[in-house]
Structure formats: structure tokens, C-alpha cells
Chain A
Amino acid sequence: MSQLKDAILSVTARGDKAFIPYIMAGDGGLEKLKPTILKLQQLGVAAIEVGIPFTDPVADGPTIERAGERALANGTTLRKVVETLTSFADELTVPLVAMTYLNPILAYGVEQFAADAKGAGIRGLIIPDMPLEESETVQPALSDAGISLVQLVSLTSTPERMERLTKASEGFIYAVTVNGITGARSSFANELEEHFKRIQSYTDTPVLAGFGISTPHHVTDFSSFCSGVVVGSKIVDSLVNEDWAAIEELVSASKVAAVK
């Protein structure tokens, strides 16, 4: 069973929606990682997505890309992030989902990474440049370590693909809400509700919306037709500005009172 999926289902069972913030590890220094994660889990998030910086982040928009550049300039690496997470793994109450491009994992060694990640509290993994067709190289090691490999489903995925991705996705389904890269958006296409219903029809694994979600209003809107949201660029910006009030507002918007 997927610990990540269980964690999300236990949130939705209460009537809340799953809120997953994305943070860039090493932005502002690796020493910020522990206090940030501990504070986020206190706010009642369902899981925390931990971004690993990469030199060539093709799926990311300017906000996360710049955060990654700052993290790289600080000397952040996948290895150092895993080490840092491991140092306070016993204080974690929510699962961590790592988001990293494939090459740092290949350089680390897939088996070694899976084993170390488990000890670091990582229960899910998103690899934005590895579509389902190419996942054989990492899948077995991740399964052994109990790490769920989350698939992204995009607006351009054909119905046949959508079904395959949805059924293969572990933990949750990351439904991309826009054609494009990460980053704040002011508007979304109208047909999204249809799109989400179709995805959910294939599976009982929770479907979460991500890419572009940046206001409490977006959070409640999306929550009306999916199990939760991933918020990235807005969280990254708020953390840089130390604007925790904005983060609390976003998380609150996913709670049962707001969603009703």
C-alpha cells in the first residue's frame, strides 16, 4: 500500500481537501529546510513536496527556476538534501514527496537513492522529465523502498494515455491544469471540471490539481472537483518574503469550512 495515498485519503475522509505545498530545497540555505518543513506540517498540510534544484529544469517557470538557481549557488545537491532530511526524519508527521529531474537520481544511483530516500521520510517521487514509458529504470527500486511514483496527467494527454497514466500513478494523480510550465496563472480553461471527472473515473487514487494555482480562491475552486491541490510558485515566493500569513490563508482555503 502507498503511505502517501493513505495520508491523502485520511485528509479527504475528514471532508478537508489535501493541500500540498512545494518548496525548493536549499533556497535561502539548507538550514532553512527543517524549520520550514516543521512549520508547514503544523499548518495541517497533507504532504510536502520538496523540490531538488537542477541545472536544466525544463518543466519549470521563472519563479521555481530562479529559486533553483539560488539553491544551486548555495551548493545544494540531491545528496545534501537527502542527508538534511534524514537528520530530522523522526520529527516528520506528514509524508514528503521529492520532485527531481531524472539525471541527479541516475548520478546518485537509483537503488542507493531509493534506500536513502526512504530513510529521509520521502514517500513519493515526481520526476517531471520521465514519462511513464521511461519509468522502468527507477520503478523496481522505488517499489522496494515503498516510495510511490506519482504520474503527471496533462491536458494534452489523449484519453487512452490518460487512462494508462491514471491507473499507473501511485500515491496520487498529479493533474496538470495548464499547457505549460510551473508558475502563477490568473485564469484557467473552462473545461477543467470535465477533465478532472474523466481522470477520477478511472481510479480511486486521489486526483490533485497543480501548476498555476496561486490564490485561496483557486484553491477553493479546484477543491470543488478534485481531492486537493499542489501549490508551488506562490509558496516559493511567500517563503522568500517570509509571508507566512499568505501561506496560512492558502492552506485554510483547503479546509472543510472553506470548501463547503
Chain B
Amino acid sequence: MTSEVKGRFGRFGGQFVPETLMTALQELDEAYDKVKNDETFQEELRYYLKNYVGRETPLYFAERLTKECDGAKIYLKREDLNHTGAHKINNALGQALLAKRMGKKKIVAETGAGQHGVATATACALLNLECIVYMGAEDVKRQALNVFRMELLGTKVVAVDKGSATLKDAVNEALRHWVTNIEDTHYILGSAMGPHPFPTIVRDFQRVIGDETRAQILEIENHLPDAVVACIGGGSNSIGMFYPFVEDKEVALYGVEAAGKGIETGKHAAAIYGGQTGVLHGAFMYLLQDENGFVQEAHSISAGLDYPGVGPEHCHLHEIGRATYGNVTDEEALEGLKLLCRTEGILPALESAHAVYFAANLAKTMSPNDILVICLSGRGDKDVHTISEALGGNLG
């Protein structure tokens, strides 16, 4: 269904990178093809996912949320219960193990909110790899706690003050670092985006979310879900959740982009809904840009969704109509967050709160026999300062 010819998903994806990176991407492609079918590698990965990350994560029936919405039965896939608090560790650990196999001793990564940075710093400490993380200077200020965590874990955090000093600029700087240190360094990209083979590698390391969900729901309900909902930053937790269901036509797939202060204000991060096709960070994808092809800053209350593009496989799923992409504003996400706190005693990450809000509305339109699964990509502890500020408090 989603073809991978030359790293393409339909007309999206590709390898739009400087020539210096091409050989490294081909090496990575070959190395990944090898480990993909190498049982000792997969065994090692499973060992760490189980004993270190704490998988499998529960698929939890949210009974009070279900009652409140009075529609479909709502289940939560609890990625928030992973070590380090989000799905990001699935990919960071997989790629760190891959880097070891490739004989690379140094890791570079980018981070926005700091979740991927913390996950990568964690995997590097575990596997004794040297790690450097680039982070926009604006985000360093906003996410001081995660900067401190990364440093405790032995990672060097470098603030990027160029461009808009946010996630996209951190990706630029991580790519530059990789080009310059290509011999001994692997780049652990944090979402299902970037040049081939990254979108495929990240999806494969995240598909554990969907694979577990599929087995769990069949065990509990003996029935596939009618709808699956996940939030979209670059698109990794969502593609990980969607992928094992793509061939199951009866399962509706919903991705939720960040509408920020509202699509009409222009201050949002909804690349599929509000962008046009273009090339950034190695891939042809939907992109927030102006009429000159200059990339525009994304805006979202959640730093993890604050990215102007979206992974190429989602662009393709959108184009062929297999998945549906909605969007949720900052304010609505806060409503979703409060709803989950109040009904289930779970504080979701602001990113995941977008999925919660969208799913709650969707559930209301469905019947009590229907099943809806929300990918709860992370927990909200990292966001308490932002939340308190948005709600008029003064924790921050």
C-alpha cells in the first residue's frame, strides 16, 4: 500500500540532502536492511524494550472518559508509561543499537521539547555512546528542565540561535554536525521525517505501538478498533500506531495536527491542513511556507508539535485518503488535558492532549458498540510550567 521505491511514499519523501550525506544515507540504508532481518538484533532490542523501557505498555479501557463522552468505547495506549515518559525512547533505543552495530561511537540528535533529546541521551548513557544534542535557543529557555536532565545524563546540549531558534533550526544544525563528522557519527533523527531511510527506520521502531495495540484489542474485545487517533508532530507516534492497521480498511485512522492559536491566524503547525508541498530537511512533504518557498515558523503550545513539516508517509496516507487529518487549537488541547486529568487521573503531554480532545469529540459521534483507541504518546510532567502559565497560574 505505501510503496517504498527509492524511499518514496507515493510522490512524497526522497533524499534531498547535500552530496556529502548521500554515502552515509546509503550506508545507513544497507546497515538497517541487515539488522531488520537479524534475529540477534531484534532479540537485543526486545530485551531492552521489555526490561529497560517497560514494554509492553497497557491498553487501558478509559471507563469514565467513555461515560463522559457517551459514545464509542475509548481505550488509551499508554506510551506515557514508558521509561522517560514518552514513545520517543522506542526509536532512540532502536537507532542507538543500530549505531553500535554500524561501529559508530558518537551520536548527534536534534530536539524540540527535549523529549527526543532526553530519550537519546538516555539510550546513549545506557549503551556508552558519546552524545551531542542541538536545541533551538528559544526551546532551551522554554524547556530548562529537559536541558538539565540531558546534561545529567552526560549529553552535551548546544543552543542554536540561528534562524527562528526552534526545532527546524536544531535539525539544520544537527545535519551540519553530521555532514562534518560523518566518519564516526550517527544521526538519531527523532521523528518519522527527514531523508530516506529515516522515515522508514523511525516508523519500524515505533510500529511496536500499533503491533501491541492490535494484539491487545483482539485479546480484550476480539474485534479491531473502529477508529484510532494520534497526534502529529513529525508523525512518529502516529505512524507507529497506524502502520499495522493500514491494510485493515475497517479501521479509520485519524491524525491530529496542532492548530495553535487557530488556522485562520496563521499561527499554527498544521502542515497538511494549512501547508503546500515542498522540500525541507531531505524530504518532499507538506510544508508551512510563504509564496517565495521560504519556510515559515510553526506555532503550538506544545513544543513537540511545533514543526513546519510532516513526515512523508502521512502526506501519502492523506493523499490517497487512507487517513484523515484534523486539527486542534492550543485552547482545545488544554480542554482535552483537563478532561483526561479529571476523568481518568492521567496528566497527558500537551502533544497527546490534542489527540484526546479530538478523540473525545469523535467518540460522541460513534455508537456504544464502536471501539476507539487514543495513542497517549507521553505524560505531561514536562509541561506543568506551560500549563500553569496558560491557565493563568504562576508556577513558571
Chain A interfacial positions (CB closer than 8 Å to B): 54-59, 61, 65, 69, 72, 77-79, 101-108, 128-131, 133-134, 151-158, 161, 165, 176, 179-181
Contact = CB atoms under 8 A, between A and B. Distances in A.
B41 interface: no
Interface stretch (B124-132, B137-145, B286-294): B286-294
B19 A165 contact: yes
B15 interface: yes
Contact of B19 (A56, A108, A157): A157
Contact of A105 (B6, B15, B24, B293): B293
Interface string B2-26: 0000100000001111111011100
B172 A131 contact: no
B183 interface: yes
4 closest cross-chain pairs (CB), A and B: A107-B293, A104-B293, A180-B180, A154-B20
B279 interface: yes
Interface of B: 6, 14-20, 22-24, 162-163, 168-169, 172, 175-176, 179-183, 277-282, 287, 289, 291-295
Most chain A CB within a 10 A radius of its CB, from B16, B24, B168, B295? B16
Contacts of B17: 58, 129, 131
The binding surface of chain B is classed by DSSP as mixed
Contacts, number: 113
Most chain B CB within a 10 A radius of its CB, from A103, A105, A154, A181? A103
A97 to B, nearest CB: 17
Contacts of B180: 179-181
B16 A129 contact: yes
Contacts of A79: 292
Nearest to A174: B19
A106 B162 contact: no
A179 B281 CA distance: 19
B291 A133 contact: no
B6 A133 contact: yes
A79 B291 CA distance: 10
Given A58-B175, A79-B292, A152 B279 contact: no
Contact of A58 (B18, B181, B277, B292): B18
Given A79-B292, A103-B280, A161 B22 contact: yes
13 contacts: A72-B294, A78-B293, A103-B278, A103-B279, A105-B293, A129-B18, A129-B282, A134-B15, A154-B18, A154-B22, A154-B23, A176-B19, A181-B180
A176 B19 CA distance: 9
A217 B23 CA distance: 31
Contact of B292 (A104, A131, A133): A104
A129 B21 CA distance: 10
Nearest to B180: A180
Most chain B CB within a 10 A radius of its CB, from A58, A101, A106, A134? A58
Given A131-B15, A134-B15, A152-B19, A58 B278 contact: no
Contact of B293 (A58, A61, A103, A153): A103
Contacts of B292: 77-79, 104, 107-108
Contacts of B168: 56
B179 A179 contact: yes
Given A55-B294, A152-B19, 6 more contacts: A103-B280, A107-B293, A131-B15, A131-B18, A154-B18, A180-B179
A56 B18 contact: no
A214 B291 CA distance: 35
A220 to B, nearest CB: 25
Contacts of A155: 20
Given A128-B18, A131-B17, A103 B162 contact: no
A77 B293 CA distance: 9
A205 to B, nearest CB: 16
Contact of B295 (A55, A108, A151, A157): A55
A79 B287 CA distance: 20
Given A72-B294, A102-B279, A103-B279, A131 B22 contact: yes
